[in-house]
Amino acid sequence: MEGVIDHHMRNLLTRIGGYHHCVTEFVRITDQLFPPVAFHRICPELKYASKTKAGTPVTLQILGGDPNAMAENAQRAAELGAAAVDINFGCPSRFTNSKAGGAVLLKEPERIYKIIDAVRKAVSTELSVSAKIRLGYENTDLALENAKAVEAADASFITVHARTKVDGYHHPARWEWLGRLNDALTIPLVANGDINSVDDFLRCREMSNCEDFMLGRGAVIQPDLARQISATYAQNPTAPMEWSDVIALVIGLTDLMQTQPTIAGKKVLGRMKQWLAYLKRQYPEAGVLFGEIRQMKQLSQALVLLSQKGRSVAA
Ligand SMILES: Cc1cc2nc3c(=O)[nH]c(=O)nc-3n(C[C@H](O)[C@H](O)[C@H](O)COP(=O)(O)O)c2cc1C
């Protein structure tokens, strides 16, 4: 998730467990072949066999509208060690869409086909090439056609975020659509949208008949959600993570970010606030803490408060 789940967050979350693989933020491809640094910036794991420190495989995501440029850059990603490439047809950002990338392409199933086909043919058959779509741009009229275009282009699997572009992130995900598309496809369909608890997962599975699921915001709202879902699968449900462990994770994220000398304290503080804002949906304590650090300008000040709170819950 752009600006939220970077390699530090992937490192932390996959250490908790439950993930079979995870996906990077997208590399936005224009009309040029990018230098290796552009890929390493988004996916430093390329230097470590495309795995997080916990050993979870990482898929590199690309976004763009030009089939040739996408193919050339996918080839480069493969040369750099990517084991899997995912193509983003879901990003709703006005900037991205104005450059003919992301969800705007859902208006053109044929172009979706051409992009995936070009990428698929440019890399080894051993490399997984997948695509992530929404149900459509303004409405769901082309949902099936787009999903079929992904399948026809020989994608390894498809992830469907069960909203349209116009739905943004607000409306409830339309899981019933996942079931419809799943019935019509032969490639695996990964269900995505509004899975924020084990109950959501169970209902989504029931409605979609899917076997694979992608977490979005739920991954940061409830940091051990994947582990809980995995345990539920194994018929050995576990209790959600305690707040004391969650606060340690937030401190852990700031520690990891600070090991990177190019990241300014202000950015680390911003990410701390951002995570607390997500966490408050699950943990009321995060809301209180967020209120206390919201106006703070200095990372050091926020860290003192966080470690005091950490100590007081642990005591
Ligand atoms: C801030 C933010 C950034 C995101 N960035 C990406 C991205 O880079 N690539 C991607 O495939 N999806 C991205 N997404 C979409 C999520 O992966 C997911 O599809 C979407 O949030 C729906 O799932 P949810 O309702 O469980 O959050 C982003 C979502 C948010 C809120």
Write out pLDDT tens, residues 260-313: 888 999 999 999 999 999 999 999 999 999 999 999 999 999 999 998 887 766
* CATH H-level, domain 243-314: superfamily: Dihydrouridine synthase, C-terminal recognition domain (1.20.225.30)
Judge if the beta carbon of residue 38 lies within 6 A of ligand 1. no
CB 66 within 8 A of CB 31: yes
Domain locations along the chain: 7-233, 243-314
Judge if the beta carbon of residue 26 lies within 6 A of ligand 1. yes
Judge if the beta carbon of residue 93 lies within 6 A of ligand 1. no
Q: What is the pLDDT of residues 215-264, one digit of tens each?
A: 999 999 999 999 999 999 899 989 999 999 999 999 999 999 999 888 99
Residue 230 φ/ψ region, left for φ over 0, alpha for ψ in the -120 to 50 degree band, beta for the rest: alpha
Give the distance (Å) from ligand 1 centre to CA of residue 216. Answer: 5
Sort 80 into a burial class: Cβ within 10 Å, 0-12 / 13-18 / 19+: middle
- What pLDDT, on the 0 to 100 scale, is given for residue 161? 98
Q: What pTM did the predictor assign?
A: 0.96
Q: Give the integer Cα–Cα distance in Å for 149 and 131.
A: 10
Mean pLDDT of the chain: 96
Mutate to test the pocket of ligand 1, among 86, 130, 135, 161 (most ligand atoms within 8 A of CB): 161
Atom of ligand 1 nearest to the CA of 25: 8
- What pLDDT, on the 0 to 100 scale, is given for residue 315? 54
Locate 60 and state its tokens. Answer: 């590199």
pLDDT over 60 (residue 207)? yes
Judge if the beta carbon of residue 101 lies within 6 A of ligand 1. no
Does the annotation mark 91 as catalytic?
Answer: yes
Q: Label the pairing between strands 212-214 and 189-192.
A: parallel
List the residue whose alpha carbon is closest to atom 16 of ligand 1: 216
CATH level 3 topology of 7-233 = TIM Barrel (3.20.20)
Judge if the beta carbon of residue 161 lies within 6 A of ligand 1. yes
